[in-house]
Structure 1
Amino acid sequence: MMQLRQSALAHCFRVPVPADLARAMVAVDADHPNGTEGCDPRGMSVLQQHVAFFDRNGDGIVYPWETFKGMRAIGCGFITSLVLGFFINLVMSYPTQPISVHIKNIHKAKHGSDSETYDTEGRFDPSKFDAIFSKYGRTHLDALTKDEMNLMLKANHNIYDFLGWIAAIGEWHLLYSVAKDKDGLLQRETVRGVFDGSLFERLQDSKKSS
């Protein structure tokens, strides 16, 4: 009976049992049981990998000018990159280390009103990731429209968590602007790639080739 129940849960969430265990260093789903192919975790949590793309000199610290360069590398405009370079470091540097963002402490900067795909230690929770699409992907199995994304953001709001609301809305709308497909959809694989930072590398390579 227990095995049947676990099998049903695995089918529902589309990930291998146990689906509720957070993964420390890989962003897994049913199609990627070992995480992103060719992605070296380098001993970092998934959240740390997400941030490491912006550490342009690889010293474990992200300064505002590095955030600016990273934003430019994935296709953001000059003004947008300048504003985000200042704002992101201003908000995230305090809980990790004054002035700059220290990657080793990035889990301390996790905000509320999010999908909870990152847990409080910066690990990846595949069941929470799957819920993004099983709950809100109403027109496509493995993608979100802009309206569905906004519905998810509204549903994730924690009461009086104004900073969390702003951060979540800003993050997802930025992702949508740089990574939506030609049909205006945010694909599942695109979203998974942003969690472990592999999407940033793909966007950077695409921008260079164009």
Structure 2
Amino acid sequence: MHEILNGHEKRCFNMFRMTQTTFRKLVIDLESKHGLHPSERTSTLEKVGIFMFILSIGASNQEAQERFQHSRETISRIFKEVLDAMDGLSKDLLRPRDPDFKEVPSHIANDSRYMPHFKDCIGAIDDTHIDVIIPEEDQLRYRGRKGTPTLNVMAVCDFDLLFTYVVTGWEGSAHDSRIFLDAITNPSLNFPKPPPGTSFFM
């Protein structure tokens, strides 16, 4: 970690898909706001490094074991710890900048092609399928339209192309409308409901 974070910027970007400055800020946020702590043998920097290494290049547990010289169990435990902290971070980041949706987005207000027809539209919502590895006995319900196991992920973005809400975890066979209806009717999912008269593109 010392070599990567104090060496050439390109090495850090190749390994973690972010600059050294961004990586250090991420670690500080996860420590100070989202409960990620160092353990007896592993610093918080290294924990986040392991997590980002696995995500950024699609590394296997075995590849992470070799790169960071930890056991299989340790790699799995660290990945879960950082994933839990990232879940907290996502709740801070994935939210509308204007939670009351009072402002007309500038992309609409400043373009005569869209105003006034879309002045009450506040963003776009869509689903996408992400390939996953699932135990064979559970694969059937995760099979998406292309026949491979997937998760069906619903995402909402604003007119600046910033994500404001994401729902994950649904099996690939789940219909988009089912996921949407669950998101807007389940209070625990905290869907940012727009006021009456506004809408999303779908």
Q: TM-score, normalised by structure 2?
A: 0.24
Q: TM-score, normalised by structure 1?
A: 0.23
Which entry has the higher C-alpha Rg, 1 or 2?
2
Q: Which has the higher contact order (CA 8 A, sep 6+)?
A: 1
